[in-house]
Homo-oligomer: A and B are copies of this chain.
Amino acid sequence: MRKTSAHLADGREIVYFDENRPERRPEELADPRDLPPVATGSEVRFDPLLREWVVIASHRQTRTHLPPTDDCPLCPSSQGHNTEIPVSDYDVVAFENRFPSLAPNSRPDLDPIGELEPSRGPARGHCEVLVFSSDHNTSLAQVSPQRMRTIIEAWVDRTTALSEKPGVEQVYCFENRGSEIGVTLHHPHGQIYAFPFVTPRTRRILASAEEYRARTGGDLFADILRTEQEAKVRVVAESEHWTAFVPAAAHWPVEVHIQPHRPVPDLPALTTAERADFAELYLDVLRRLDALFDAPLPYVSAWHQAPVRQGRDLARLRLELFSVRRAPGKLKYLAGTESGMDVFINDVAPESTARRLREATP
């Protein structure tokens, strides 16, 4: 795997992760477009009721929305058609989002707005796009194990690089898949956010791990994993270094957590063997998910990594994948109970989902 860094016409960084290609020549990396600088007027505001930051990104309303395939900004560039990726072919590419919610130079207009306390500021941070393949019509479930390993290396590289940027407190690698959850570009890709704060969900999970350690002396994540391995009834797939299971209190009709057997804080801490093993297991799980309803499953796949500075002794690397699909043609909506009161009502028993995923033929 060879890594090559370059810059797009407006100065954004682009990083190529090439598997078996000759060294990139400067002329193929050049971006011939005439792009205006990225305008970033985002701010963060603190909600005093929920005590969490909200990103107000009003400049993003005009972002690209489901362009026709021949306008896809994530396809390679070709004669007369310049995309976000100047080269004519690539394996895996990461680049800074042209419509970022968080940006290092965010300079919003911060006139007084009468907030309760001095509790707003520029939305500093980083938003990157990670393209999984140059093939517009494939999906992450369909890539080769080698490609999945390259994607893992890209996640590791971006986690390391973004963790070193000033003010970054948490790096979040994730994939949104399917128009059912609002995906606006169908070319297979994920995203990487570098947040200037520890996210509310991570803070809650860290508080739970801390409370559990104080109460029992144990490691919450290790004890959940052991319990699932022993119970077996919710395990979807197992390998030497990883276990995939449906959590006992799953919030979503389809939900799978994938956890390494060795407790590590983040993706860079994984060994080569653990990375290779994950590539195989994750492909197996993704293919089972698509087989569940005989159709591409819309999902969110979310890497939980330890924050950059806080709670690194408590937090554990884990992947949480969940879907809004509850049956063919039916979606789970977050309405009054979920979005209003955070009470999730799951119409599917976790044991049933696990059994169906075990039986699904990828």
Q: Which residues of A contact B (CB under 8 A)?
A: 45-58, 60-61, 65, 101, 113-116, 119-120, 172, 174-176, 181-183, 191, 193, 195, 199-202, 204-205, 207-208, 211-212, 220, 223-224, 227-228, 230-234, 247-251, 300, 302, 320, 322, 326-327, 330-337, 339-352
Chain B residue numbers with a CB within 8 Å of A52 are 342-343
Query: Is the Cβ of B248 less than 8 Å from the Cβ of A344?
Result: no
Distance in Å from the Cβ of A167 to the closest Cβ of chain B?
Answer: 16
Query: Is the Cβ of B251 less than 8 Å from the Cβ of A47?
Result: yes
Partner of A251, one of B54, B119, B251, B344: B54
Query: Is the Cβ of A208 less than 8 Å from the Cβ of B249?
Result: no
Distance in Å from the Cβ of A117 to the closest Cβ of chain B?
Answer: 9
Query: Is the Cβ of A57 less than 8 Å from the Cβ of B175?
Result: no
Chain B residue numbers with a CB within 8 Å of A183 are 335
Partner of A45, one of B101, B220, B249: B249
Take A212-B48, A251-B47, A335-B300 as given contacts and tell me if A227 and B193 are in contact as well, using a CB distance cutoff of 8 Å.
Answer: no
Oligomeric state, in number of copies?
2
Query: Is the Cβ of A342 less than 8 Å from the Cβ of B212?
Result: no
Separation of A302 and B183 alpha carbons in the complex (Å): 28
Partner of A227, one of B114, B191, B342: B114
Sample (5) of A-B pairs whose CB atoms are under 8 Å apart: A51-B208, A61-B326, A116-B223, A204-B342, A302-B336
Query: Is the Cβ of A227 less than 8 Å from the Cβ of B116?
Result: yes
Of chain B, the residue at the smallest CB distance from A224 is B116
Of chain B, the residue at the smallest CB distance from A47 is B249
Separation of A16 and B6 alpha carbons in the complex (Å): 70
3 residue pairs, one from A and one from B, having the closest CB atoms? A114-B231, A182-B333, A302-B340
Query: Is the Cβ of B113 less than 8 Å from the Cβ of A343?
Result: no
Query: Is the Cβ of A334 less than 8 Å from the Cβ of B335?
Result: no
Chain B residue numbers with a CB within 8 Å of A54 are 249-251, 343-346
Distance in Å from the Cβ of A102 to the closest Cβ of chain B?
Answer: 9
Of chain B, the residue at the smallest CB distance from A183 is B335
